[in-house]
Amino acid sequence: MADLFHDKADEYDTRPVPQQISEGVFTAMRDAVDIRGTVMDFGAGTGLVASKVAPMADAILAVDVSPAMLAKLAEKPELAGKVEVFCQDILEAPLDRDADLIVSAMAAHHVEDTAGLMRALFAHLRPGGQLALADLDAEDGTFHPPDIEGVFHAGFEREALASLAREAGFADPTFVTACEVDRDGRRYPIFLLTATRPAA
């Protein structure tokens, strides 16, 4: 599989939009879920969110399909001794690990099978565990450059995503707006979806 982020990894952390999103999403996550125990970061990238979560977590499972982005994550001193890196597609090759909390920021629109993603995330959560997934509200396709590879969704309708979460087994899907990105004079809301895997 081609690494679509290979050429972006070196400068990714210096870009203002990823910085803004990671700050807004982390603040919303901190207010909405219990950050503790083992945390899986799905679509972890360079670790912008994982680095913020790390002080509150016992361990972080960083999952992504980009070797270049994960290499940058693994270099971060604030994650040393706390993070395990998994370069794999958990829809096709699940981890033999589970988590108390799964976080994800701006990764879902890169996964074609959203229903399959929800099932995979549910399967990697311990009973009673929580999901905190952030992505774009449905937009007109202008957030990303035209013809970009690896983008399968122009954001998501909140209720449609909540329905997929429920179908996967999640309880109490809830949305807040984590932040808004201003790009080329347009404003793009970023939601945070939280839900729980029932304890029994």
Domains in the chain: how many in total? 1
In a domain, 1, yes or no: no
Which residue range forms the structural domain that includes residue 55? 12-196
Residue pLDDT, tens place only, 80-136: 999 999 999 999 999 999 999 999 999 999 999 999 999 999 999 999 999 999 999
Global pTM reads 0.91
Amino acid at 121: L
Does 6 map to a domain? no
Contacts of 141 (CB under 8 A, 6+ apart): 154
Q: Does residue 115 lie within any of the structural domains? A: yes
pLDDT at position 104 is 97
Could you tell me the strand order of the sheet in which 125-136 lies? 83-87, 59-64, 38-42, 99-105, 125-136, 186-196, 171-183
Give per-10-residue mean pLDDT for the chain (200 aa).
50 65 92 96 94 96 94 92 95 96 95 97 98 94 80 91 98 95 88 94
Task: Give a yes or no: residue 100 inside a domain.
Answer: yes
> Would you state the pLDDT for residue 49?
95
pLDDT at 13: 52
CATH number for the domain that contains residue 162: 3.40.50.150
